[in-house]
Structure formats: structure tokens, C-alpha cells
Chains A and B, each alone.
Chain A
Amino acid sequence: MGNDTDSRLSQFRKGVVVLAILALLHAGEAYGGEIVERLASHPGLAISAGTVYPLLSRLKKSGLIDSAWRESPVGPPRKYYRLSAEGGVEFAAMARAWDGVTDAMDDLLGNGASR
């Protein structure tokens, strides 16, 4: 059963993980380790560094996010990521779509549970 749950989770996660990263960066810029840490603090997402870094690289290549080295208040410079203008537009669209899906799913799951 554990395996089944895992594979179901991974199916969900694949669709959600881009939105999670865009949402996090929408709230403000962040460096790689910080992004990994903050996503990892939501165990339900089960996103690891091995998922986050390749995805950041992909999002950067597709122009949805930018990165740049910046002096850090503590320690050596860090590579910070932030949403590009295009990424902001994409995030808004994805968030709206997500709201539609969750509303529908809440409704369906709620009905299912009360039956």
C-alpha cells in the first residue's frame, strides 16, 4: 500500500511542483538552498533537492525565472532566483487554473465523503 500511495503522490506532485516553486518565488526572491528548505518544510509536497535544482534550471531556460549572484547579508555571495515578468503572468494563470481544480475537487471529494 505504501508503494501505491507513493506513486499516487508522485503523480500529483509532478503537476504541482512547478506551481509550488513559482508561488514561493512570487512571495519574494530566494536562493537554491532556501527554496529546497522551504519546500521541504511542507512534507506533503515531498520535494527534494534532486527535484528542485533541475526544475529551477528548466524554469530559467524557459524564461519564467531569472537568477543572479548577489552579495548575501551573511557569508559568500549566493545565486538568487526570482520570477521574470513572463513568470509572473504564468504564475497568475496557473494559480487561477489551480483554484478552479481545487474548487472542483473539494466539491467532488466532499460529495463523495458525505455519501
Chain B
Amino acid sequence: MNPQERKAAGGLTPESAELVETYFARVHGALLVAAADECEETVDDLRAHVYEELAGTAGTAADVTRVLAELGPPEALAAQCADVVSGPAPLTPESRDGRSPLAGTLLGMPYELRVPTAERIAMRWWDPMNPNILVPRVFGLGWDLNLGAVAVKLGLIKPDDEDTPFESVPDRWLAVSAVLPVLMTLALVTLVALFQSALPAQVAVHWGVSGAPDRFDSKGSALVLPVVMTLIGLAILGSAWLRRRPPLSRVAAGALAMMLCSISTAAYAQAVATAYRASESGVLLAVMGGSLVLTFAMLVTLARIGRAAEMRRDLDRTSKKGSV
């Protein structure tokens, strides 16, 4: 509480002041939910106004309740403010990240150090309504790819094809996004089963930009990173499905698991390829590029299945209405 507020609150009993503070704490909470942090200033002004208003009264709990009732429920107030101030672009970094020191811009590059929620990750990777292809990183420094914007730019979907991404997609199709990383894991298991015992004791574990190996390790250690990354991918995927996250989160978890599993499989495949044909390079890039394309194709296909489901629902309804 700054000095000015303390002075303003001075005329009230602690109980009354606490009522006001509780009310505005709820407004602030609701603003966070609405991702409208930039309303904070307006709300602070409003709080100062409430204290001014109360200064002209006895400052009893009844007075506080009456004044606050004029503002309506805290959630409604926050929603109203959020609509006016940041309604048009709830997900732009400027309006969303507000003034939190954990997120902002450093030397012209956005950074994000708050722990990402599954929803926030999903919204950045598949946000067809946002025309920006590069979006501030979910965590860390730099940008992420908004595959939704890529799909819109390529004319594969329209920004508003689905009301909420993947929400109308039937469950059996959503499951495809979980099956792909599992298949990728099976590919890794198969490679390990086929080649691990036949590999030389020392294998390549890192490659330069040209594709030439620049670091070697024992073949056992070469397995550690791929296995750990695959397990992380599968854990993210399993958690999204077991906890019945919204469809967008489940699909995004599938996409993330797909990337982790395919990097692992690609790295191991490259190690095998290097051991057998030292000149062979590009397996890593080919598998990773292929799986990025596959992941993108999966997202677009699911979006179009969702659109078709919405269309069927609406067109059926109109034709029924028309026949009555």
C-alpha cells in the first residue's frame, strides 16, 4: 500500500478497509484470469475513488458494502474493464504480460520467465486468430512459431474456422495426436532393439552444422538423452490426457511430445547411421524436418475435422429448421 492509499484508508476501521481491499483483490484476480493486466491502473484509480467516496461517510461496514455494491461484483467489473481496455487483442504480449518483471522485452527480444501453463503453450503454438507467425516464446528468450498463423497464411484454414481450436473434433480423431508420438517412440524402441548390441563401443552423439560428428561417447551414454527426452514427451502427453485437459491442450501436448520423441529418434538414428556409414549425414535433419511437417499436417487436419464437425452441426440444424 503506498502512502497515499494509507492516508485515504486512514479514516476507515480496519474491518471496513479490509472489505475494500478484499473486493479489489478479487478484481485483480479476475483481471489476471482475463489476461488484462493493463487495467491495473484503472482499477487502482477506482480504488482511490472508493476511498474518497468513503471519506464522506461514517466508514462503517454498511457504508463500504453500499459503495462497493454500486460497482457491482468484482468479476463483472474486471470483465467490463478488460473488454474496454484490452478487448481487441487479449493475447498480444503487450496487453497480456503487463508489467510483470518476469516477462517483457530485452534488447528488442521478448522474454518470458513465468512457468508456462499447458494452455498458454497451446495458445501460442496454435492461435489461428493471431496473424503473427512468430510469437514471444512460451518460456525463455526469443520467439516461437505460431503454426496456426502459418496454416492461415497458406490458405489451409480461416482464422475463425473453429470457435475454440479442436473443441468440436471427435475424440477418436483427437487420439491421433497422441498416437503419433507413441509410434515415434516405437520407432526408437525398434532401432535400439535392432542396432544397440551391434554398435561399436564408441558412437557419435553430436554433429556439427555440416553433419560431421564432433563428439563421441560410449554407446550406453548415447541412449541416455534420447530415452530421457522421449520419457518427458510421453509424460507431458500422458498428463494432458489423464487429466482430461481441454482439446487444444491435449493436441498441443501431442505436438510437443511428437517433437521430443522425433528429436530423440532422429538423434539415435543419426548415431546408428554415422556408425555404419561415416559419410552419411542429414538423417537427423531429415527425420526432424519430416516430423515437423507431419506435426503441422496433423494440426491442420484436426482443425479441418473440427471445422467440418461445426459445419455439420450448424447446417443440419438449419435444414431441420427449414423443413419444419
Q: Which residues of A contact B (CB under 8 A)?
A: 13-15, 17-18, 32-33, 47-51, 53-58, 60, 62, 67-71, 77, 79
Contacts and interface: CB of A to CB of B under 8 A. Distances in A.
Given A68-B314, A69-B310, 4 more contacts: A13-B88, A48-B131, A55-B88, A69-B314
B131 A14 contact: no
Interface in B63-121: 79, 83-91
Contacts of A17: 87-88
Interface majority SS on A: helix, strand, loop or mixed? Answer: helix
A91 B114 CA distance: 38
Interface of B: 79, 83-91, 128-132, 158-161, 163-164, 310-311, 313-315, 317-318
Nearest to B310: A69
A4 B235 CA distance: 49
Interface majority SS on B: helix, strand, loop or mixed? Answer: loop
B86 to A, nearest CB: 7
Nearest to B158: A32
B108 to A, nearest CB: 16
Contacts of A77: 311, 315
B270 to A, nearest CB: 40
B129 A54 contact: yes
Nearest to A47: B88
A90 B318 CA distance: 26
Nearest to B162: A79
The 6 tightest CB contacts between A and B, nearest first, are A53-B129, A69-B314, A53-B159, A69-B311, A51-B88, A50-B131
Given A67-B163, A69-B314, A79-B160, A54 B130 contact: yes
Given A69-B315, A70-B318, A14 B87 contact: yes
A60 B163 CA distance: 9
A14 B88 contact: yes
Contacts of A60: 163
Given A54-B89, A58-B90, A70 B315 contact: yes
A32 B317 CA distance: 21
Contact of B90 (A33, A48, A54): A54
B159 A49 contact: yes
18 contacts: A14-B86, A14-B87, A17-B87, A18-B83, A32-B160, A54-B89, A54-B91, A54-B130, A55-B87, A60-B163, A68-B314, A68-B317, A68-B318, A69-B310, A69-B314, A71-B315, A77-B311, A79-B161
